Structure 1
């Protein structure tokens, strides 16, 4: 059974913790569905039966790497997403910015940062997908910084969308 483990939560208020815990529970529940496993292994898009920016891995290997839970900051396979979450105070960007960032994770760092403007508006399933997306970076998966026609097919984006869609049904 795959686990989601909250190691720390900096910047979150006590009143935020229930929402945070519920979103993480949805992330964990989605990870333990056969549907998610099937969607990862059988993923296909305009690029064929593979993810964009997949480190040269097959879909089966992407699945195995995600479920191994071996973050760059934690030695060993533990079948657990070990999360270090930070809530960053930031106002919502102007309306004309069509796809504003909702958070970020810096390469090589442990933290998953989420902007306050989005956290307080997000549905639980959206948070689950966001945490999945950002956590996949901690496993070494990446995507283009700027929007491209195929960025949504990268492991972080596609995986995050899958988790969110499944979490929405739980």
Structure 2
């Protein structure tokens, strides 16, 4: 009986998340691409927001292989939003960081995205807003735990860490 109920909940969750992700992907394309960058480029910039990262760390954080990450970083570098720097102690390691114009653009994009989140939250009753955020945090933690056990980084034979 419990498995049937869980199966039904899983099906409903799949349908809800599928629709939610479609809507958010459209929102992201609509609000990010007008800044002449792709959603993938914006995700890279977001990862670099607090500190430079090695190409490997950046690729792992976004579940991409290094060659794909390299192409995305190339595009950001050509646009003047990111720069590469070799590790002085190990020339094989390349760090990527945001330029000042990259930081400025990311702040503008995030401001727009946060404004859209505010509009969405305003449509939810004030009493339910904290509960919605709690459930989203729990879902994110559960997905991260599931990913750690189920998935591998492209080009690797090991779990995501």
TM range (shorter): under 0.3
* Higher RCO structure (Cα 8 Å, ≥6 apart): 1
Q: Which has the larger radius of gyration?
A: 2
TM-score normalised by structure 2 residue count: 0.25
TM-score normalised by structure 1 residue count: 0.24
